[in-house]
Amino acid sequence: MQFIIASLFLVAVSATTLPASDGPPARAEQRQPPEGGTYADLVTLFKGWREFQKPKPGADGAPDYTTPAMEVQQRELALWQERLRALEPRAWPIPQQVDFHIIRAEMNGLAFDHRVLRPWARNPAFYVTVFDEESDQPAREGPFARGAVELWAYPASLDGKSADSIATGLGPIPALLRQARGNLIGDAKDLWIFGIKAVKQQQEILAGLGERARAYPALAEAVKRAQGATDEYVRWLEAQAPSKKGHSGVGIANYDWYLANVQLLPYTWADEVLLVQRELARARSALALEEQKNRALPEQVPLSSAEEFKQRFNAGVTEYMQFLKEHQVLTLRPDMEPALRDHIGTYTGKRPLEFFAEADYRDPEIMRTHGYHWIDLARMRDDPNQSPIRRGPLLYNIFNTRTEGFATAMEELMMEEGMCDARPRSRELIFVLLAQRGARALGDLHMHANQRSLEEAARDTAALTPRGWLRLSGSTLWFEQHLFLQQPGYGTSYVLGKQEIDKLIAARAAQLGKEFTLRRFMDEKDAAGLIPVSLLRWELTGNSEEVPGVGWSSASPKALAPASAAAPASGNPVRDRGGDRHDAKARPR
């Protein structure tokens, strides 16, 4: 492994930003400040940037993703990037420089959307805006149109105020879905086919909401209009589906650019393939050894009743919090235990179980480690970061190497701290989970290289996941692969983020020597906020060598392939072709 890591740092990727688009002269409010601006200038720019990034509302109330509107946004984005570059932050304190590069990554994310992903033109699921399940991330995973209606946030028994609020949120849906039929001109087959499935889930959610809305005429009418529009949208998508023939992945060159300039990771697509394969092999071999060592012990059996679920899951939270306290893992906050206990879920009697429930139902304490997501969100709510730039969710899911990467790392960290010592069979579960993350990360990489279709990637992932728990007949597998195809780098963020956390712990231990404690590391990490893991490393260690665009660069890719360069109808500038939850709505974990 030392050879692999060493060799990777000899390879480099250019972290230059997207080439500026030609556009009109800057308006007064967009003119560049004097060279070498201040942090106050950055905060002012950030507020304006976040307003600019939002699509303008049309006359019908729906966000405007039409071609003219997107062309204007793309032209003006270049001016915002020029303003950012003019600030020249190199003399600022490191935390302020980190904030600068957060904004740089966000702007690159929008640029990538315009030049490559174009979700408003290629991805039917982009227009899904009604959700009945809470995300465990700072912002919902994947690209979505603005105007989400988060039904889970309302009380189960509606009152007049909540009914009116939901009705208002549903109002733009008919106009948005009419607009979608004009905007969606891409040829990405898998995005189209699996996007239809996502839209049909919105149909089901609206049908359920209709039952709850009967006592509120305005809401009932809004639901009816949204249902009709969604039904019509599905019929149109299905009629268009046979004509879709193109690849859905972004291609290797664009994936490389995205890793360096949006996720701010010091790796290329090829590097990540190598690292993920190594992690998958490590997890599978460790599992085999654990199974051999534990062969004389009774096998773990999933719990089998709602009563047992309630008792054991609540006990799992209690035991986990006690473990964190006794082992001084981190400074405990009063919002941590409620955050975990409020999200233990509900029992399902459906068999076979979805993948994560297979582990969860055998040892309810195990997945509380990955439930650090809820602790992160509670802190974001109750103790917002001092930086206005980190206070809310970062755009384009660029937090995922920290949120998903650390939550994945936490599983093995707590195992190493001794959490499973009294339950040796639970060590096996840790390695089953790690193997699944590695398997599905390969799916992400191969889909975006256009080496596998979504279905082929799903079958590969199921075959590589131990014990047959990730079933083709379940929903988890398909939901995850569809998400990873929509959002490059999301499937790999669990594995690469975990590895970066491991490296960061090692770096802090080397720096601090006998002064190092896990508690100190955890507290430092949490205080820094939910930021890309390379920026976290810079802030905690002072070492920027692994931050693309600061201390890390490579000969390739030097620039994103232009959108006009032999692009297929799907909008991919480069075409590379080679060879958690307990219910059915499982989320990636």
- pLDDT tens track for 563-584: 333 333 333 333 332 333 333 3
Indicate whether 59 belongs to any domain. Answer: yes
Q: Is residue 149 part of a domain?
A: yes
Number of domains observed in the structure of the chain: 3
Structural domain ending residue among the three candidates 541, 561, 581: 541
Burial 390-408 (b: 16+ CB within 10 A, else e): beebbbbbbbbbbbbbbbb
Q: Is 27 left (phi over 0), alpha (psi -120 to 50) or beta?
A: beta
- Tell me, what's the pLDDT at 226? 98
Q: How many CA atoms lie within 13 A of 520 on its CB side?
A: 12
Structural domain contains residue 563: no
Q: What average pLDDT does the chain have?
A: 91
Model's pTM, two decimal places?
Answer: 0.90
Residue pair 129/32 in contact (Cβ under 8 Å)? The answer is no
Q: Which residues of 183-206 are buried (b: 16+ CB within 10 A; e: fewer)?
A: bbebbbbbbbbbbbebbbbbbebb
Same domain, residue pair 417 and 472: yes
449 and 536 co-located in one domain = yes
Task: Report pLDDT digits (tens) over 158-206.
Answer: 999 999 999 999 999 999 999 999 999 999 999 999 999 999 999 999 9
Q: Dump pLDDT digits (tens) for 34-85.
A: 468 999 999 999 999 999 999 999 999 999 999 999 999 999 999 999 999 9
Do 237 and 279 lie in one domain? The reply is no
Same domain? For 158 and 57 the reply is: no
Q: What is the pLDDT of residues 502-514, one digit of tens each?
A: 999 999 999 999 9
Whether residue 311 is contained in a domain is answered as no
Of 75, 84, 88, 113, nearest to 35 by C-alpha is 88
The answer to whether residue 102 scores a pLDDT higher than 90 is yes
The residue from 98, 122, 146 where one domain ends is 122
Q: For residue range 532-573, what is the model confidence (pLDDT) as tens digits?
A: 999 999 999 999 999 999 988 765 443 344 333 333 333 333
pLDDT confidence bin for 472, thresholds 50/70/90 = very high
Are 493 and 404 within 8 A, CB to CB?
Answer: yes
| Cβ–Cβ < 8 Å for 164, 507 | no
Does residue 426 have a pLDDT over 90? yes
Q: Domain check: are 99 and 47 in the same one? A: yes
- Residues comprising the chain, all counted: 589
Same domain, 209 and 167: yes
Residue 192's domain comprises 124-243
**Claim to verify: residue 110 and residue 143 sit in the same structural domain:** no
Q: Is the pLDDT of residue 284 over 80?
A: yes
User: How far apart, in whole angstroms, are the C-alpha atoms of residue 180 and residue 198?
Assistant: 15
β-bridge pairing 149-150 and 130-131 = parallel
Please indicate, yes or no, whether residues 286 and 179 belong to a single structural domain of this protein.
no
91, 62: one domain: yes
490-512 and 424-448 helices cross at what angle (nearest 10)? 120
549: left (phi over 0), alpha (psi -120 to 50) or beta: left
Residue-wise pLDDT for 319-362, tens only, equals 999 999 999 999 999 999 999 999 999 999 999 999 999 999 99
Looking at the domain assignment, is residue 345 inside a domain? no
Identify the domain boundary among 92, 122, 152: 122
Q: Answer yes or no: is 486 within a domain.
A: yes
Task: Tell me the C-alpha to C-alpha distance, in Å, between residue 36 and each of 29, 33, 41.
Answer: 18, 8, 10
3-class SS string, 52-87: HHCCCECCCCCECCCHHHHHHHHHHHHHHHHHHHHC
Identify the CA nearest to 369 among candidates 507, 540, 522, 263.
Answer: 522
Closest by CA to 397, choosing from 444, 340, 338, 451, is 444
Whether 230 maps to a domain, the answer reads yes
Same domain, 83 and 215: no
Please check whether residues 206 and 95 belong to one and the same domain. no
407 plus 439 within the same structural domain? yes
Q: 484 lies in a domain?
A: yes
Beta-bridge partner residues of 130: 149
